[in-house]
Chain A
Amino acid sequence: MKKNQLFKLMNKSDIILVAVLVVLAAILYAVMYFGIGTAESGGTKVAVVTYKQQEVLRIDMTVDGTYTVTATLGEVTIEVKDGAVRVEKETSPYHLCSIQGWVSHSNTPIICLPNDLVVVIENGGSGSEDVIIG
C-alpha cells in the first residue's frame, strides 16, 4: 500500500529526472574509469601525497615501506606494499581514508578531507627518466 502511494506521488517528469541522473552517472563513471589513468600495469607507479595542494611526498611504489606525514589533525601513516598504497593510520572523525584500504589504480585517489591530504597514484611522471629507456 505504502509503496503504491509513493509511486503515485511521482509523476512522469520525476521518472525522467531519475533516468537522466542514472545515465549521467553512468557516462561520468565511464569517462572517469577509462579516461583517466588507463595504464594499470607497466611503467613505474608513483604515489604522490599532497597536503593543502602542496606535494609533500613522492613514493616509489615498487618498494614496500611505511611513511609518515604530518597533516592538519596529526600524523598520517601511509603504507606501500605490493604495488598498492593505503592510509594505515590517521586522525579524523570517520576514518574514511583508512577504511578505504588498498588502492593500486591511478583513477582512485585516497582523500582525507579533515586532514587536507590527498594520495594519488601517477604512472611514471616527472623525475623518472628511466621509464623512457626501460
Chain B
Amino acid sequence: MKLKTWVSLALLLAIGIVLQIIEPQLPLPVLGVKLGLANIVGILAMRRYGYREMLTVNLLRVLLASLLRGTIFGTGFWLSLSGVLLSTLMVIAASRLTKLSTIGLCILSSAAHCLGQILAICVIWSSIYLIGYLPVMWLLSVPTGMLTGYLSDQVLNRLPKEA
C-alpha cells in the first residue's frame, strides 16, 4: 500500500473517531437516535480505496473511539462493535452483489447496524424483547441513511480524484 493511501486512511479514521465522539452530544428531536455520521467515513474509505480498507477503518474507529471515551469493553462497546461488523459486512456484500447507490448502501448500513446491536443485546441479556424496537429503528434508518448517503455522495464528488 502506498504511503499516501495510509495517510489518507489515517485521516479518515481520525475524522470518524471525532464524529463518533461528538455525535451523541448533538440534540435530536427523537431521543436515543443517532444520525450515524461516522458511517460516512466508512463509505468514503470503501468507495475510494476498497472493502478491506473500509473494514479496517470502521473497526479501528469503534475500538479507538470507545478507548478514548473510556467505555471500552462495556455493554455499549460490544453493541457498537457488533453493529459496525454486521453493517460493514452487509455493505460489502451488497455493493458486490447489488446495484445499490451510495444512498442505498447507507440505508442498508444503518438498518444492519441496528440489527447487529439488537442481536447483541439479545445475546447479552438473553431476552428477545428488544426486537420490538427493531421496526421503529428500521423505519428511522431510512431518513438517516438517506442523509448520510447524500453527504457521502457530496463529499465524494468534491474530493479530488486519487492520483
Contact = CB atoms under 8 A, between A and B. Distances in A.
Contact of A10 (B98, B103, B141): B103
A106 to B, nearest CB: 10
B53 interface: no
Interface in B31-79: 31-32, 75-76
A66 interface: no
A111 interface: yes
Interface string A86-120: 00000000101001000000011101010010101
B125 A25 contact: no
Contacts of A14: 100-101, 103-104, 107
Interface of A: 6, 9-14, 17-18, 21-22, 24-26, 28-29, 32, 36, 53, 94, 96, 99, 107-109, 111, 113, 116, 118, 120
Interface in B122-154: 125-127, 129-132, 134-136, 138-139, 141-142, 146, 149-150, 153
B111 interface: yes
A120 B132 CA distance: 13
Contacts of B121: 113
Contacts of A6: 103, 146, 150
In this complex, which of B31, B103, B121 has the most chain A Cβ atoms within 10 angstroms of its Cβ?
B103
B interface bracket (residues with beta carbon within 8 Å of A): 20 to 34
Given A18-B107, A53-B126, A28 B131 contact: yes
A14 B121 CA distance: 29
A30 to B, nearest CB: 9
In this complex, which of A12, A18, A107 has the most chain B Cβ atoms within 10 angstroms of its Cβ?
A18
Nearest to A94: B31
Nearest to A99: B31
A114 to B, nearest CB: 9
B134 A28 contact: yes
25 contacts: A6-B150, A9-B101, A9-B153, A11-B104, A12-B99, A13-B98, A13-B99, A14-B100, A14-B101, A14-B104, A17-B100, A17-B108, A18-B142, A21-B111, A21-B138, A22-B139, A22-B142, A32-B131, A32-B132, A36-B129, A94-B31, A99-B31, A109-B129, A111-B130, A118-B127
Contacts of A17: 100, 104, 107-108
A46 B126 CA distance: 20
A11 B141 contact: no
A15 B64 CA distance: 35
B20 interface: no
